[in-house]
């Protein structure tokens, strides 16, 4: 089984589907001749041609709007936002049109919008956001947040197959930093099915995306002090695997939710509310959140580090819960 980076796995999944299904095409700024801002589509235009790897103008509204029309007509477009932050320009097409079309007319709208998200590289407030909770709130949209290379490939293929619009949040800080074995063959991973990253008995830790690795390091540290953490990687936040979380909380009786997004209205609040409503009698402590503060992402490296949840922040949260 070959070892791939997170970025290579995304590229491989996209290439597999474009070779398999001629309805799949890519559109975005610099995705063709340049090969994408992060080189996910490098060489794609040479293989598939300019009609299936389309260099679009600097107009996210036009990119997503054209994808909506093409999807309704039977195509399977994959749009690339150079940064997830810029998807706000296409909000109206995604939220008002694409998300409602299947409900309104029964028409499938199989769009995938790839959104390079997250901080950790001093990109500043316009290139580092994690907007997953904004779209998870919209009925009709699905939101995928893979953490591992194998999940990145399988979840992308599932997203392209899905008849609904999917926002695929690929974390930039994982692109070349994380490598693992990825099956060569085509495979899918169901949307809405969490993965148990590590098993434990004392505390349930729920997260997704790049924070899986922060959480895992924190869990390893507290394990040395006798605290056993069960780490759940949601993989998708819309739909999210509520049953997997509740089952774990029933076992451990304590829960911490971690995400890189800002605190107020972050998707962690939905998880906390669900645990409180549906597993209250299993709890031995209040459910805890570790998140970014309610502020824009700083540009300065030390300020960005203070903004993004770090291993020591998670360790402190786990120790507080263990001592409760």
Residue 280 burial (CB count, 10 A): 10
Calculate the CA 88 to chain-centre distance: 16
Catalytic: which of 127, 171, 173, 197? 127
Distances (CA, A) of 19 to 44, 47, 312: 11, 9, 45
Q: Which helix (H) or strand (E) holds 180?
A: strand 179-181
Task: Name the nearest CA neighbour of 187 among 222, 147, 135, 152.
Answer: 152
Residues 36 and 306: their CA atoms lie apart, in Å, by 30
- 93 as an active site residue: the answer is no
Determine the Cα angle at 81 with ends 80 and 83, to 5°: 135
- 308 by DSSP, 3-state: which? coil
Q: What is the 3-state secondary structure (H, E, C) of 65-116?
A: HHHHHHHHCCCEEEEECCCHHHHHHHHHHHHHHHHHHHHHHCCCCCCEEEEE
- C-alpha neighbours within 13 Å on the C-beta side of residue 306: 9
Task: For residue 68, give the nearest of 133, 112, 116, 18 by alpha carbon.
Answer: 112
Please compute, for residue 168, the number of CA atoms within 13 A of its CA located in the half-sphere on the CB side.
Answer: 29
> Could you tell me which of 242, 239, 220, 240 has the C-alpha nearest to residue 231?
220
Catalytic residues: 127
């Amino acid at each position: 089984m070959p070892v791939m980076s997170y970025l290579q796995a995304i590229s491989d999944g996209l290439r597999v589907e474009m070779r398999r299904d001629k309805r799949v095409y890519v559109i975005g700024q610099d995705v063709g001749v340049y090969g994408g801002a992060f080189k996910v589509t490098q060489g794609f235009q040479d293989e598939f041609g300019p009609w299936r790897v389309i260099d679009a103008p600097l107009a996210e509204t036009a990119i997503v709007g054209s994808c909506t029309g093409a999807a309704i007509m039977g195509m399977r477009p994959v749009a690339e936002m150079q940064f997830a932050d810029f998807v706000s320009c296409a909000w109206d097409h995604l939220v008002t049109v694409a998300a409602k079309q299947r409900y309104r007319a029964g028409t499938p709208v199989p769009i995938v919008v790839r959104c390079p998200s997250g901080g950790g590289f001093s990109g500043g407030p316009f290139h580092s956001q994690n907007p997953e909770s904004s779209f998870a709130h919209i009925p009709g949209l699905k939101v995928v947040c893979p953490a591992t290379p194998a999940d990145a490939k399988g979840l992308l293929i599932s997203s392209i197959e899905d008849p609904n619009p999917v926002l695929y949040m690929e974390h930039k800080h994982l692109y070349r930093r994380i490598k693992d074995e990825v099956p060569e063959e085509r495979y899918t991973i169901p949307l809405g099915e969490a993965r148990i990253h590590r098993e434990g008995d004392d505390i349930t830790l729920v997260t997704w995306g790049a924070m899986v690795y922060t959480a895992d390091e924190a869990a390893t540290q507290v394990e040395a002090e006798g605290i056993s953490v069960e780490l759940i990687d949601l993989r998708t936040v819309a739909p999210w695997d509520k049953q997997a979380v509740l089952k774990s909380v029933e076992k451990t009786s304590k829960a911490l939710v971690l995400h890189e997004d800002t605190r107020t209205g972050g998707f962690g609040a939905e998880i906390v509310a669900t645990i409180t409503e549906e597993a209250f009698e299993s709890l031995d402590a209040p459910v805890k959140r570790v998140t970014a503060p309610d502020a824009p992402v700083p540009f300065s490296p030390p300020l960005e580090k203070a903004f993004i949840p770090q291993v020591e922040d998670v360790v402190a949260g786990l120790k507080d819960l263990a001592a409760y």
